Structures are given as C-alpha cells and as structure tokens.
Amino acid sequence: MIASAPGKIILFGEHAVVYGRHALVSAIDLRCRVEVKKRSEFRIFSPLGLTGLDLKIHPYITFAINRFCEFKKIEGAEIVVKSEIPIASGLGSSAAVTVATLKALSEEFEVYLSEEEIFEIAKKVELDVQGRASGIDPFISTFGGSWIFPERKKVELPFQFFLIKLWERSTKAMVEKVANLRQKYPEIVEKIFDSIDSIALKAPNCGAEEFGELIHMNQSLLRALGVSSPEIEEIVSKLEKDGFRVKLTGAGGGGCIFGIFSGRKPENSFLVRPEMEGVKIESA
Ligand code: MEV
C-alpha cells in the first residue's frame, strides 16, 4: 500500500501558533510517499538509512507505528519512504512522513482510520518526538489546502512562492529556544506573539505588495524571538537589496526562507505552489 502526504509552508505565525495565536499555512506541491507491506518484523528504509524500530534514526515513523498499535497490534511491516520534501528544512517533512505512514498502515492492515483520526494520532506522534507543538504540521499534511489555523478557516492564496534552502536544524531546539525567551520575558514575548497573530489574520485579504510588507514585519519579529541569526539576516538583507521580501518559514535557525514569486526569483531558489490534496492513497 502506498500513501502520500504533502509538505507545507507557514506563511505567517510560526512559534506564536504554539501559544494559541493564528497562523496562515498552506500545503505545497512536494510530497512524501510511504509504502507499507505486511511482514513478520519491522524494517524501515528511508534516505536516513535502513533500520528496525529506531527512535534515534526514525523517531516519527517508530512513534507512528507504536501509536498505530494502540488501534491494532501488528507484528511487523516493511516501510519504504521516498520524499520530495527536504529534511529538517521547515517544510513539514516529519509531519508528512508521519501522516503518510499512518495512512498506509491503516489501509494495509484494514483499520481504515478517518482523516480526523490520522490527524489526531499524528499530533500525538509530534508531541512524542518534540515535546511541544501546535499540531499545524500534521493538520496541513492531512488535509491539504491553505488555512488560517487553528480556526480551520479555509483561504485561497493566489500566489506561487520561491524558496531558498539554507541549512538543516532541529525544530525541537528552536521551539525550546522560544520557550526559554518567553519564560524570561513573558510580558514582552506575549506581545510579539500578538503582533504575529495580527499579521496572520490580516494576510489572507492582502495583495502581493502588502503581503510583502507583512513578510518583512514577520521576519523582524522572528528575529526578535531569536530564531534568525546574523548569517540568516545577511542573506535576508542581500535579497532585500535585490528587491525581494523574504522571511524564514517553519522553526527558523536555518531551514528555508521564502518570498512571493512575481515573475522573478533569486538565484538558487525553487518554486512551489499551494497544494489542495492532503493525505491520499497512491496505489494499493
Ligand atoms: C514548525 O513547523 C512550526 C512551529 O511553530 C512549531 C509548531 O507549531 O509546532 C515552530
């Protein structure tokens, strides 16, 4: 059984969304495909390596299998992962592999979980691995489309986006960094979250020019939260000098930066567009 799920781009609201604020998020046209076959033991094969159940190398898949076993106890499976989504880059590769694994397990072992159940289990898996999370990544990988989260207000985004991949980093570490800053300066950090919330709510009604201004403001607030860095700001400044508006997307500290594509894109960037389809079966 082969299932696939899309990656995502957070346009506005990362980190603040962990503390109950809104985010604007879209699925993107890069997918992760997971094939599951019944076997007598567990074998997981991905670009990260070949393992059995392994919380170090394949934490999301291993926790997904453990959580799936709460619905139906299984003795083994072969899991093969092929993904177009760059790893540890803020584009939701972990959630996509989790959601696609759950869907493929669910069909292969005739449990037939609903999308809502897959989302709920994937959210638990994310918490198992990261300790703290908003659920935005498993939500968008499951349902696809573009949304104001957590309200589940569907929006249409008439844009294509360019992405520049920086370096890999750990979401967990960046989320912890913001948690520490909030603990130290709660009255200041909560106000930064409120401003990010206003940006996320404003964005769906904006044209390209205002959208660019919001990108600039949100990037400055991410910098204030400590998830940018001098190296990232240098790249952002250079792109701004070239006339682009860009911001980090996802947890920051590296990962990816994005901007709206209006006929011109920076060197070393690639284009993505909003994707309507969430998790699905590719073939039996
Ligand atoms: C990660 O894609 C987005 C964060 O806001 C974490 C989360 O919402 O769980 C940094």
- Whether the pLDDT of residue 8 is over 90: the answer is yes
Percent of the chain having pLDDT more than 70?
A: 100
CATH class of 1-284: alpha beta
Q: pLDDT at residue 164 above 90? A: yes
pLDDT value of residue 264: 96
Ligand 1 atom showing the smallest separation from residue 92 Cα: 2
Judged against a pLDDT cut of 90, whether residue 284 lies above it is answered with no
Q: Where are the domains of the chain?
A: 1-284
Characterize the bridge pairing of strands 23-38 and 146-149.
antiparallel
Confidence of residue 11 (pLDDT cuts 50, 70, 90): very high
Q: Distance, CA 18 to ligand 1 centroid (Å)? A: 7
Residue 189's closest CA among 143, 240, 224? 224
pLDDT digits (tens, 9 = 90+) for 182-230: 999 999 999 999 999 999 999 999 999 999 999 999 999 999 999 999 9
pLDDT by residue (tens digit) across 40-84?
999 999 999 999 999 999 999 999 999 999 999 999 999 999 999
249 lines ligand 1 (CB under 6 A): no
252 lines ligand 1 (CB under 6 A): no
Band of pLDDT at residue 150, cut at 50, 70 and 90: very high
What lies within 8 Å, CB to CB, of 11 at 6+ separation is 23, 24, 25, 26, 157, 200, 203, 249, 258
CB-CB neighbours of 75 under 10 Å? 10
Q: How far apart (Å, rounded) are the C-alpha atoms in residues 220 and 186?
A: 18
pLDDT-above-90 percentage for the chain: 99
Using only the alpha carbons of the chain, give its radius of gyration.
19
Average pLDDT, the chain: 97
Contact (Cβ atoms closer than 8 angstroms) between residue 18 and residue 37: no
Statement: residue 238 has pLDDT above 90: yes
SS (H, E, C) 30-74: EEEEEEEEECCCEEEEECCEEECCCCCCCHHHHHHHHHHCCCCCC
Q: Looking at the CA of residue 178, tell me the nearest atom of ligand 1.
A: 10
Q: What is the pLDDT of residues 22-46, one digit of tens each?
A: 999 999 999 999 999 999 999 999 9
Q: Which residue minimizes the CA distance to atom 10 of ligand 1?
A: 251
Please compute the mean of the pLDDT values over residues 267-274 and round it to a whole number: 97
- Please enumerate in sequence order all residues whose Cβ is within 8 A of that of 225, keeping only pairs 6 or more positions apart, or say none: 15, 178, 181, 189, 192, 252
Q: What is the DSSP letter of 17?
A: G
Of 137, 194, 197, 242, which residue is the catalytic one? 137
pLDDT score of 6: 98
Instruction: Measure the CA angle with vertex 25, ends 23 and 30; round to 5°.
Output: 155
128 part of the active site:
no
Which residue do the tokens 């498993």 mark? Answer: 138
Cβ of 91 below 6 Å from ligand 1: no
DSSP state of 228: S
Kindly report the pTM of this predicted structure: 0.96
| Angstrom distance (rounded) from CA 26 to CA 7 | 9
